[in-house]
Structure 1
Amino acid sequence: MEELLAKHRKEQKDLQGRITQKKKSATKKTRKGVNDECEQMQRDLTERHKTEIAELNGESTEPVEALEDLSLEDGAPADEPNEDKTTAITDSNTPAPSESEPAGRTKKPNRAKARLARRAAEQVAMSEAAAEEAKNQTNYRGNEQGVMDAAFKKLGLKEVEVTPDGHCLYSAIAKQLDDSGLGLRPDPSRIVLQPTSQTRIDTVTSPQHDGYRAVRAVTADYIVEHKDDFEAFMEEPLDVYTRKIKLTAEWGGQLELQAIARAYGVIINVVQSDGRQEKIECGEMDSFDEKEKAKRVLWLAYYRHTYGLGEHYNALVKQS
């Protein structure tokens, strides 16, 4: 009984939440209809709870009908109960017809039970449909991770997780620039800080904190300085576009990768979610020796389905 009562309390709480939400969203025109619907929902729940408690206690949930049938037939002696009436009282499942009812009339169905049965059948059907739909859906997340893991193994790469916060592209680049010894090449004039302090600038240019800010500043400035190469591909004015790069968590994409590769003189290899590799060239590698060239190759993993916020970049490093 305690378990049933706990279930009833939870259902009552859930219903109150639904009712509150419905009333909040009601307008002047719909308020009356919403109130009526909420009252009906409360009555239905209360009726169902009473029925379930009665069934648990072994009590009858059938409505009492035809009380007039309990009276004695006209002319029958008071000390001699009518046989048909006695049968109607002792056998509730087979009531005898009265003078006011036609013979063979059946008992009125229990509406509460019928309603509960109908809802239970609908819920079962919905659950089965959902299970069937889920079974037939493609597991994009699992498939993507499997393809990426196979590509990492083939290329001898290890993945380094980056926080999915909108700065992931720049954070992944900042880490690799610092690890390779290339540095972030911070310039205090590139980084907008209020108030400006050398301590804060040092923090901003550290990949262990938020070095992505330095990469964002370098990227935005490079695009401004070479606007003829980038402006035609923008859907916003140059100043608006580059301000978002510098000062917001706007996601980076193809244009930003091109600017980063050229600004830092690096090659960026991006492992795609389907296993393909995209190579972003900087166009200045001929002046470096083989050791320096190897140091200037960065790797990124690009996901489309694995992370809840959507597109995401992680850093990749060579297996030691």
Structure 2
Amino acid sequence: MAGSRKNKIKKFVSSSHTNNPPDQVQTDDDNVLMDDLLAELDSRNQTVQQESATVLLEMQENQENTVKDNCRPAKKKQDSRSRHEARQARKAEALAKNHAPIDPEADSRLEKEAKEEEISIKETCDKLGVQTHEIPPDGHCLFSAVADQLALLNILPPNQANYVTVRAAASNFIYTHPDHFLPFLPSAFGEDGVGATSEGFMTPRQFEQYCMSIKDTGAWGGEPEILALSQAYNVPIHVVQGGVPRIVEHNPGPSPRSSAKVARISFHRRMYGLGEHYNSLRPKTTISQVAGKIQSAFS
């Protein structure tokens, strides 16, 4: 864990045991820290997972106690980001409980759902002539998957096709088109939370914080970010999934347009058990060509 994040955690833990309400700076720090921790729940390093989960649970408990102390109900709209945070909270709880009882029935059900999803996505990919290109589950998967597609379509040069560039593009587009996105981004604190308007929309400060978190942290990306990227790069983004419909289309304009350039990514609800994930879908011919070049280089 980086030293700066260690200091943030120490600062949070020490402040959580005082009776003084956190000021705005502390709240902002906590939001950034939470985004980082949520991203690290997808790490393949079990030590990182465990450490992040433990701190997240303590932060969540502290927030719940604050709500109770203020006697204010915490009502939260179920937008895509809220649902993701709820799932990540459940993941944190599961990771933190080292001695949680084994539930064979639940494990079997999840395994079955994961297999069915895998088969469904593969069927759709076969029809499209594409194949999954795995993206690391590091909290940046959506942006890395889109970056990979933009490189394949020659929309971004390879040296710029990374999650940093794509995160910045999504953040900038959302920030410069607030009227298009605010209705889909309810206040992070809920309609009755501190700082929320009567309509439950984000305040200007909250909106700015949201955009900055997309750009500078490991905050999870969802439907708003996919739509923003489709419009920012003027390219349709098609998401293949195991549910219905099999393909969710995001188009840069009000009506679909015929184009040879379509970015294709896959959305996996069960691929990693407790978390959701995006992968890039490359043409099978492209994957074969790359594999052939690698094989030739070592032969």
TM-score using structure 2 length: 0.50
Aligned mates of 2:252, 2:240 — CA distance in 1: 18
Of structures 1 and 2, the larger Rg is shown by 1
What residue is the counterpart of 1:256 in the other structure? 225
Change (3 A) 1:160 1:136: closer
**2:271 — aligned with what?**
306
Query: Where do 4+ consecutive residues of structure 1 move more than 4 Å?
Result: 129-138
Structure 1 match to 2:178: 227
Alpha carbons of structure 1 residues 133 and 270: separation in structure 2 relative to 1, 3 Å: closer
Are 1:273 and 1:303, in contact at CA under 8 Å, matched by a contact in 2?
A: yes
Give the Cα separation in 2 of the matches to 1:133 and 1:219.
Answer: 37
Choose the corresponding residue for 2:134, options 147, 157, 161: 161
- Between the aligned partners of 2:111 and 2:242, the Cα distance in structure 1 is 15
**How far apart are residue 141 of structure 1 and its match?**
1.2
- Shift in alpha-carbon separation, 1:142–1:227, aligned structure 2, 3 A: same
Question: What is the DSSP-based 3-state SS (H/G/I as helix, E as strand, rest coil) of the residue aligned with 1:249?
Answer: coil
Partner Cα distance (2:104, 2:255) in 1:
54
Which residue of structure 2 aligns with residue 149 of structure 1?
A: 122
Q: Could you report, residue by residue, the CA deviation over 1:130-179 in whole angstroms, capped at 9, with x for unpaired residues?
A: 66776677711111111111111122111110001110010011111112
Distance 1:133-1:315 versus aligned 2 partners, 3 A rule: closer
Corresponding residue number in structure 2 for 1:22: none
**Partner letter of residue 263 of structure 2?**
L
8 Å CA contact 1:162, 1:168 repeated in 2: yes
Which one-letter code corresponds to 1:175 in the other structure? D
Q: 1:140 to 1:228 in 2, by over 3 A?
A: same
How far apart, in 2, do the equivalents of 1:305 and 1:137 lie?
7
The sequence identity of aligned pairs, in percent, is 34
Distance in 2 between the 1:135 and 1:173 partners? 32
Aligned partners of 2:174 and 2:228 also within 8 Å: yes
Amino acid at match of 2:151: D
**Match for 1:206 among 152, 155, 160?**
160
Q: Structure 1 166/135 Cα, relative in aligned 2: closer, same or farther at 3 Å? A: closer
TM-aligned CA distance change 1:139 to 1:206, over 3 Å: same
Rounded Cα–Cα distance in structure 2 between residues aligned with 1:285 and 1:274: 23
Q: Distance in 2 between matches of 1:222 and 1:132?
A: 45
CA distance change for structure 1 residues 284 and 177 in 2, over 3 Å: closer, same or farther? farther
Change in 2 beyond 3 A, CA 1:224/1:139: same
Q: How many residue pairs align between the two structures?
A: 166
Does the 8 Å CA contact 1:265/1:284 hold for their aligned counterparts? Answer: no
**1:139 maps to which residue?**
112
Supply the RMSD in Å over aligned alpha carbons: 2.8
